[in-house]
């Protein structure tokens, strides 16, 4: 039968988000075994063991709907980050909070200011609401916050900043973020997406949480997907003014985080030891992998996160396909504005060695 439903033009024009290829899919399609996935900034240590135990212990209760607002996880986040509990909102991953904000605030004719070379979900969430994605060129592969502030006009409803940024791994200092908030009118929502904040050790970096009191138009996002290793459970959070959150709650579906995700996240927050182990290992491997890349003659963007943007002497998608044949899954970056760069997630020591060996084989220079 012919399917006759027509989507409106702005939806027809939309290119869906392309996620990293799962290991099983690659192995099935290419007949490979032993592939490593270094494509989605996932945690090489797996989930926090405490989170896993809490999730297992809660399985008997999955016939009950979760608490709608996630009271206990909000309480745990409030205590952990020293933010009042009425300033906490949960998302099915922090990405959902971006979509909720877009749904709540955007109308056709509105625009959202974001950076070129940033997380592609920002553009998708904006275009899905038939609004304009205003992408501002970067300065040295870092968000140009001054230019972004200048790009705000009467139709701007949101400014989206990934700090640190994905896929470049660069960051903006606390001072720069504070200036952005001073320059953007207070009726424009500023979202600072801090998905990788746990990995950053630079002294001039800081969470924008510290600016919440002074800026009621600020929403700060965090996630359990990266340093805490709970990507598959889909749980993230936002901090903002209670009246801002009241607007977002109107566009949120009632049970947007699952009960299992909530209990696992509470336990993960208490597992500081796990996060420290993850972050310290990542820092050591980052140093080692960068030194190796340098020796091999590759240039890359210095990163404060758990991934690296590496420049390759060929089209990004060619490099991706060649590495795939070596059993190493990375992310090609042309769709993100980097036609000759790949993004690789630091993984286990063995995984990182596999990547380095495969890269030197397919892209020797
Ligand atoms: C991974 C990532 C997130 C987190 O997404 P979840 O929906 O929480 O899994 C958010 N923002 C950026 C920039 C990311 O890279």
Q: Is residue 260 part of a domain?
A: yes
Q: How far apart are CA 104 and CA 95, in angstroms?
A: 14
The strand pairing partners of 112, in sequence order, are 133, 158
Q: Is residue 2 part of a domain?
A: no
The total domain count for the chain is: 2
Q: How far apart are CA 268 and CA 211, in angstroms?
A: 25
- Do 284 and 198 belong to one domain? no
- Do 326 and 214 belong to one domain? no
Domain with 336 in it: what CATH number? 3.90.1150.10
- Do 223 and 136 belong to one domain? yes
Which has the minimum average pLDDT: 21-25, 224-228, 259-263?
Answer: 21-25
pTM listed for this prediction: 0.96
For every residue of the chain, which 3-state class applies, written as one string? Answer: CCCCCCCCHHHHCCCCCCCCCCHHHHHHHHCCCCCEECCCCCCCCCCCHHHHHHHHHHHHHCCCCCCCCCHHHHHHHHHHHCCCHHHEEEECCHHHHHHHHHHHHCCCCCEEEEECCCCHHHHHHHHCCCCEEEEECCECCECCHHHHHHHCCCCEEEEEEECCCCCCCCCCCHHHHHHHHHHCCCCCEEEEECCCHHHCCCCCCCCHHHHCCCCCCEEEEEECCCCCCCHHHCCEEEEECHHHHHHHHHCCCCCCCCHHHHHHHHHHHCCHHHHHHHHHHHHHHHHHHHHHHHHHCCCEECCCCCEEEEECCCCHHHHHHHHHHCCEECEECHHHCCCCEEEEECCCHHHHHHHHHHHHHHCCC
Using the 3D structure, point to which of 218, 251, 271 is the last residue of a domain. Answer: 271
- Do 71 and 184 belong to one domain? yes
Q: Is residue 319 part of a domain?
A: yes
Q: Is residue 239 part of a domain?
A: yes
Using the 3D structure, point to which of 233, 253, 271 is the last residue of a domain. Answer: 271
Mean predicted confidence (pLDDT) in 8-31: 88
Q: What is the mean pLDDT of the chain?
A: 96
- Do 64 and 29 belong to one domain? no
Q: Is residue 168 part of a domain?
A: yes
- Do 232 and 331 belong to one domain? no
Q: What pLDDT is recorded for position 177?
A: 98
Query: pLDDT by residue (tens digit) across 179-222?
Result: 999 999 999 999 999 999 999 999 999 999 999 999 999 999 99
Mean predicted confidence (pLDDT) in 340-364: 96
Nearest 5°: phi and psi at 307?
A: -145, 165
Q: Is 162 in the pocket of ligand 1 (CB under 6 A)?
A: yes
Which residues, at least 6 apart from 241, have a Cβ–Cβ distance to it below 8 Å?
Answer: 87, 212, 216, 217, 218
CA of 295 to the centre of ligand 1 (A): 31
Q: What pLDDT is recorded for position 365?
A: 55
165 Cα nearest atom in ligand 1: 13
- Do 262 and 284 belong to one domain? no
Q: Is 119 in the pocket of ligand 1 (CB under 6 A)?
A: yes
Question: What range defines the domain where residue 296 resides?
Answer: 9-46+273-363
Q: Is residue 325 part of a domain?
A: yes
- Do 156 and 54 belong to one domain? yes
Domain with 245 in it: what CATH number? 3.40.640.10
Angle, in degrees to the nearest 10, between helices 316-325 and 349-362 = 120
- Do 149 and 222 belong to one domain? yes
- Do 247 and 98 belong to one domain? yes
Query: pLDDT by residue (tens digit) across 44-101?
Result: 999 999 999 999 999 999 999 998 889 999 999 999 999 999 999 999 999 999 999 9
Q: Is 156 in the pocket of ligand 1 (CB under 6 A)?
A: no
Using the 3D structure, point to which of 219, 241, 271 is the last residue of a domain. Answer: 271
Percent of the chain with pLDDT over 90: 93
Q: How far apart are CA 62 and CA 50, in angstroms?
A: 19
Q: What pLDDT is recorded for position 91?
A: 98
Q: Is 40 in the pocket of ligand 1 (CB under 6 A)?
A: no
234 Cα nearest atom in ligand 1: 9
Q: Is residue 3 part of a domain?
A: no
- Do 199 and 290 belong to one domain? no
Q: Is residue 1 part of a domain?
A: no
Instruction: State the number of CA atoms in the 13 A half-sphere of 63 facing the CB.
Output: 1
- Do 264 and 207 belong to one domain? yes
Query: pLDDT by residue (tens digit) across 140-164?
Result: 999 999 999 999 999 999 999 999 9
Q: Is 93 in the pocket of ligand 1 (CB under 6 A)?
A: yes
């Amino acid at each position: 039968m012919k399917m006759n439903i027509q989507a409106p033009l702005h939806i027809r024009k939309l290119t869906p988000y392309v996620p990293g290829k799962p290991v099983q899919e690659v192995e099935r399609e290419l007949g490979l075994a032993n592939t490593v996935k270094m494509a989605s900034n996932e945690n090489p240590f797996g989930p926090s063991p405490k989170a896993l135990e809490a999730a297992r212990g809660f399985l008997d209760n999955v016939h009950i709907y979760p608490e709608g607002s996630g009271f206990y996880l909000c309480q745990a986040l409030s205590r952990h980050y020293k933010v009042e509990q009425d300033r906490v909102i949960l998302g099915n991953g922090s990405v959902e909070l971006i979509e909720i904000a877009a749904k709540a605030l955007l109308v056709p004719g509105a625009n959202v200011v974001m950076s070129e070379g940033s997380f592609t979900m920002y553009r998708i969430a904006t275009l899905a609401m038939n609004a304009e994605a205003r992408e501002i060129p970067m300065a040295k592969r870092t968000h140009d916050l001054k230019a972004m502030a200048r790009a705000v006009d009467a139709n701007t409803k949101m400014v989206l900043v990934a700090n640190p940024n994905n896929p470049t791994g660069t960051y903006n200092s606390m001072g720069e973020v504070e200036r952005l908030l001073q320059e953007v009118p207070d009726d424009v929502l500023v979202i600072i997406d801090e998905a990788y904040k746990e990995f950053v050790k630079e002294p001039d970096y800081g969470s924008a949480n510290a600016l919440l009191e002074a800026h009621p138009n600020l929403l700060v996002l965090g996630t359990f997907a990266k340093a805490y290793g709970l990507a598959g459970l889909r749980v993230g959070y936002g901090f903002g003014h209670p009246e801002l959150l009241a607007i977002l709650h109107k566009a949120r579906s009632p049970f947007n985080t699952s009960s299992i995700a909530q209990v696992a996240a509470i336990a993960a927050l208490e597992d500081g030891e796990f996060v420290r182990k993850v972050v310290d290992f990542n820092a050591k491997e980052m140093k080692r992998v960068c030194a190796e890349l340098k020796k091999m003659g590759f240039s890359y963007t210095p990163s404060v996160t758990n991934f690296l943007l590496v420049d390759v002497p060929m089209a990004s998608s060619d490099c991706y396909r060649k590495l795939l044949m070596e059993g190493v899954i990375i992310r090609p970056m042309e769709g993100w504005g980097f036609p000759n760069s790949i993004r690789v997630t630091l993984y286990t020591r063995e995984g990182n060695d596999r990547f380095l060996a495969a890269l030197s084989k397919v892209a020797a220079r």
